[in-house]
């Protein structure tokens, strides 16, 4: 039997109009339109910067019974095939700006990467644990600054993702630990290195500033999508689907839209890999809890058992639905995006990238999920935004799924 999608409505978010906790207000204040505009200005100063495409899939929307479906294609982000570099690059830049006692808004990228800046800040080694995409972004940013990076990957990580990090000049290894253990390991390495700085996309007591900057970095993507939607005549999407590992990305997108649209904020659904659904469990528990274990998932980027607290505050207050999606949901999304109906442009979307589209399609196509579809109010008037957060970051695995049918999503078994 095919594993089912699980879901929970966040009643608290539905009931609350005001932000009720100080912690949530603090997290949301990182993601105001003014703050995000500053971050976007930083990203725009990077010479290779271009907004990634927002693809409108009219054929697929019609087949699914939606008004429209937009997919933000992050495979184009800085040539790195995933959105994650937005966070790592901004956090590293902010760290350097702080060391120099400068405001990031007044530190042009050309100066940031100059030998003079390198000489002023001295040698730094940036440490991070990663499934691949975040580490590649940190390594890329460190390399640009003439700095070092040490990247540790969880057991079972893909060799090609490791090679891609090494090719950015990092010292990178695949460890025998899971993601959460690898985070503790890099923390220890950095503590024992007088020049070490952890650039992690999750937080712990006493370590919230850098994760906050990383979230701010991701928000550039939400601001771009918002602008692109406006340019296409959409004032605001009705529904946004955001996939989550630690949840920093989901929190960034939710925070941006909550600040920008207030009461008219789109209905946001968090989508996790069923094997690592810590946020889904957290919303049921009413507090942030871990999903410990070493389960297998094709969604390597979402394989995190512990959520990011800074982001959780935003999601718990504002996100309306939390879902736990088995691998077939993502595999379905990948295949649909690779071969959409005539007239739609294909999107090359990897395992962690396609789960939002796979979920939307399943909710619309399968009556088994009508309750969730109705609870969300998804239908003919819905304007849906999904983010394909990565392309084929593991090309062999991508082909196994899209060409050879690995991880079947059909309902016939």
Ligand X SMILES: Cc1ncc(COP(=O)(O)O)c(C=O)c1O
Residue 243 binds to ligand X (criterion: CB under 6 A) = yes
Nearer to ligand X, 245 or 340 (CB): 245
Is 310 one of the binding residues for ligand X (CB under 6 A)? no
Copy the structure tokens of residue 203. Answer: 């937080």
For ligand X, the closer CB: 234 or 279: 279
CB of 119 to ligand X, least distance (A): 33
Q: Least distance in Å: CB of 301 to ligand X?
A: 3
Q: Which of 247, 266, 333, 356 binds ligand X (CB under 6 A)?
A: 247
Considering only 64, 129, 165, 244, the residue that binds ligand X (CB under 6 A) is 244
Among 88, 154, 237, 245, indicate the residue that binds ligand X (CB under 6 A). 245
Site string for ligand X, 201-220 (x = CB under 6 A): x-------------------
Does the footprint of ligand X cover residue 147 (CB under 6 A)?
no
Which of 52, 117 has the CB closer to ligand X?
52
Residues 290-309 touching ligand X, rule: CB under 6 A, are 301-302, 304
| Binding region for ligand X (CB under 6 A) out of 20-28, 130-138, 287-295, 370-378 | 130-138
Query: Under the criterion CB under 6 A, does residue 330 sit at the interface with ligand X?
Result: no
- Of all residues in this chain, which one has the CB nearest to ligand X in the complex? 301
List residues with catalytic annotation: 84, 131
CA distance 161 to 106: 34
Q: Which of 234, 302 has the CB closer to ligand X? A: 302
Residues that bind ligand X (CB under 6 A): 82, 84, 131, 133-134, 201, 243-250, 301-302, 304, 352-353, 389-390
């Amino acid at each position: 039997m095919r594993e089912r999608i699980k879901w929970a409505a966040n009643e608290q978010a539905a009931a609350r109009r005001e932000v009720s906790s100080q912690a949530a207000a603090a997290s949301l204040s990182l993601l105001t339109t003014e703050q995000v505009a500053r971050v976007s200005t930083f990203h725009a100063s990077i010479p290779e910067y271009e907004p990634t495409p927002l693809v409108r899939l009219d054929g697929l929307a019609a087949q699914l019974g939606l008004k429209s479906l937009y997919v933000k294609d992050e495979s184009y982000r800085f040539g790195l095939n995933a959105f994650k570099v937005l966070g790592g690059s901004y956090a590293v830049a902010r760290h350097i700006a702080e060391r120099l006692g400068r405001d990031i808004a007044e530190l042009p990228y050309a100066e940031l990467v100059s030998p003079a800046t390198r000489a002023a800040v001295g040698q730094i080694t940036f440490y991070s644990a990663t499934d691949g995409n975040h580490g590649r972004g940190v390594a890329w940013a460190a390399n640009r600054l003439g700095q070092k990076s040490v990247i540790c990957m969880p057991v079972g990580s893909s060799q090609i993702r490791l090679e891609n990090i090494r090719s950015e000049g990092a010292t990178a290894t695949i460890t025998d630990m899971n993601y959460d253990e690898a985070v503790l390991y890099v923390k220890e390495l950095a503590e024992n290195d007088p020049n070490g700085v952890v650039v992690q996309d999750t937080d712990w007591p006493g370590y919230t500033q850098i994760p906050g900057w990383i979230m701010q970095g991701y928000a550039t993507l939400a601001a771009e999508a918002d602008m692109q939607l406006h340019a296409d005549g959409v004032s605001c999407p009705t529904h946004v689907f955001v996939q989550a590992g630690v949840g920093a990305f989901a929190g960034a997108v939710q925070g941006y839209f909550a600040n920008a649209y207030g009461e008219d904020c789109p209905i946001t659904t968090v989508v996790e890999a069923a094997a690592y659904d810590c946020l889904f469990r957290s919303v049921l528990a009413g507090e942030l809890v871990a999903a410990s274990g070493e389960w297998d998932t094709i969604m390597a980027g979402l394989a995190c058992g512990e959520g990011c607290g800074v982001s959780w505050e935003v999601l718990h207050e504002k996100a309306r639905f939390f879902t736990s999606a088995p691998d077939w949901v993502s595999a379905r999304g990948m295949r649909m995006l690779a071969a959409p109906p005539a007239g739609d442009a294909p999107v090359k979307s990897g395992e962690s990238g396609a789960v939002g589209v796979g979920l939307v399609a399943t909710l619309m196509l399968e009556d088994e999920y009508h309750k969730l579809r109705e609870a969300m109010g998804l239908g003919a008037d819905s304007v849906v935004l999904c983010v394909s957060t990565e392309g084929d970051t593991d090309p062999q695995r991508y082909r196994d799924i899209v060409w050879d049918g690995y991880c079947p999503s059909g309902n016939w078994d």
